[in-house]
């Protein structure tokens, strides 16, 4: 059985009453880069449960803000966030998958501001060499394992690293992209 529900930004997903597989959806994960302004990230997290653990997806630390992009800079613009899954059991394996976003491609993803676009990408590693995706097309899903955080709860943190390459010809504006995130535990 599958169940879906929409959550507001920052809400936490809890399993409903299905015994084997569960799904949740929140509004789109937003990646922002702003020219001369700051933007935030609104995460989206459908979760699928195959374990017997009672888990929730914590989107509060998944917010990524690239900040101001300078097309004349010789350095890339980097940002990072974390998808956290909190469970009632230890050693629960967590898999996080990201989709292509509104631009329809992993290589590279595209943020939009009106008719303008700005290439960027998300990575599973801090060196930003492995594209964060669903395991297809040269991408890799993020993984984690829950460990104790106290109070009978266990958390897995899966980092998301973002980068906008230097020297891109970008028009002034606020750029964003919607990314769907799937979490399996």
Angle at the Cα of 123 (from 160 to 177), degrees rounded to 5? 75
| Kind and range of the H or E run holding 176 | strand 174-179
- What band does 50 get if pLDDT is binned at 50, 70 and 90? low
pLDDT of residue 65: 87
Residue whose C-alpha is closest to residue 134's, from 169, 101, 99: 99
Mean pLDDT of 7-30: 32
Q: 175 pLDDT exceeds 50?
A: yes
Domain locations along the chain: 21-184
Q: What is the pLDDT of residues 90-134, one digit of tens each?
A: 999 999 999 999 999 999 999 999 999 999 999 999 999 999 999
Reported as a single tens digit per residue, the pLDDT across 70-88 is 999 999 999 999 999 999 9
The confidence score (pLDDT) of residue 73 equals 96
CA 125, 185, 44, 138 dihedral sign is: positive
Q: Quick one: how far is CA 177 from the chain centroid?
A: 11
Lowest mean pLDDT among 33-47, 48-62, 123-137: 33-47
21 pLDDT tier (thresholds 50, 70, 90): very low
The residue count of the chain comes to 185
How far apart (Å, rounded) are the C-alpha atoms in residues 114 and 6? 26
Report the percent of the chain where pLDDT is more than 90. Answer: 63
pTM: 0.75
What is the C-alpha to C-alpha distance for residues 161 and 4, in angstroms, rounded to an integer? 27
Assign a CATH topology to domain 21-184. Answer: Immunoglobulin-like (2.60.40)
Q: What CA–CA distance (Å, rounded) separates 143 from 138?
A: 16
In the structure, what pLDDT confidence band is assigned to residue 64 with cuts at 50, 70 and 90?
Answer: confident
Cis bond before residue 108 (omega within 30° of 0): yes
The predicted pLDDT at position 40 comes to 33
The residue with greater pLDDT, 182 or 45, is 182
DSSP 25: B
Pairing of strands 47-48, 181-184: parallel
DSSP 128: S
């Amino acid at each position: 059985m599958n169940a879906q529900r929409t959550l507001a930004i920052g809400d936490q997903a809890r399993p409903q009453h299905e015994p084997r597989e569960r799904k949740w959806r929140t509004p789109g994960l937003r990646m922002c880069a702003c020219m001369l302004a700051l933007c935030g990230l609104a995460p989206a997290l459908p979760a699928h449960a195959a374990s017997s653990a009672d888990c929730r997806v914590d989107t509060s630390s998944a917010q990524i803000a690239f900040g101001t992009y300078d097309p004349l800079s010789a350095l890339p613009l980097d940002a990072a966030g974390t998808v956290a899954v909190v469970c009632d059991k230890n050693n629960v394996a967590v898999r996080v998958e990201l989709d292509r976003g509104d631009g329809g491609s992993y290589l590279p993803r595209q943020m939009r501001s009106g008719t303008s676009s700005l290439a960027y990408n998300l990575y599973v590693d801090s060196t930003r060499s492995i594209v964060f995706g669903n395991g297809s097309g040269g991408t890799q899903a993020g993984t984690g394992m829950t460990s104790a955080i106290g109070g009978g709860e266990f958390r897995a943190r899966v980092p998301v690293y973002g980068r906008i390459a230097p020297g891109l010809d970008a028009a002034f504006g606020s750029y964003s992209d919607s990314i769907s995130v799937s979490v399996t535990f």
